[in-house]
Copies of this chain bind each other. A is one copy, B any other.
Amino acid sequence: MIERIHTSARASKIVKHNGTIYLTGQVAEGASVTVQTQGILAKIEALLEDAGSDTSHMLQATIWLADISDFQEMNAVWDAWVPEGYAPARACGEAKLARDILKVEIIVTAAVKVL
């Protein structure tokens, strides 16, 4: 009834239950907010595919920025990436992240694709 994929002692990158997919918060290294955001969104795309879903099935996204002044730079990448007409519910606030070099973390909930 619960399916887990890419599971470690700490977290499962994907948890599926009742048609809903919960992804572990994704981060990516990179010298700029743009590069990190691009890396994160590529990881989310890959995880959604592993989970039997895609970017047109996102339900909710929570975005943490280590420095909220990076809001516009992150949004430029985000807005271009979201499939037109399929944007999830979203919230974005400032939170320092697990490692000093990390500038962005994105937590996505999505729906399983129905064939």
Using a CB–CB cutoff of 8 Å, the interface residues on chain A facing chain B are 1-2, 4, 7-15, 17-20, 22-25, 57, 59-62, 64, 68, 71, 75, 78-79, 82, 84-98, 105, 107, 109, 111, 114
Contact = CB atoms under 8 A, between A and B. Distances in A.
Contact of A93 (B14, B19, B88, B97): B97
Contacts of A85: 4, 7
Given A24-B90, A25-B90, A64-B95, 19 more contacts: A1-B111, A4-B87, A7-B85, A7-B86, A9-B87, A10-B87, A11-B61, A11-B90, A12-B89, A13-B89, A17-B111, A22-B59, A22-B109, A25-B91, A62-B91, A64-B93, A71-B98, A91-B107, A93-B105
A65 to B, nearest CB: 9
A92 to B, nearest CB: 6
B2 A111 contact: yes
A17 B109 CA distance: 11
Nearest to A10: B79
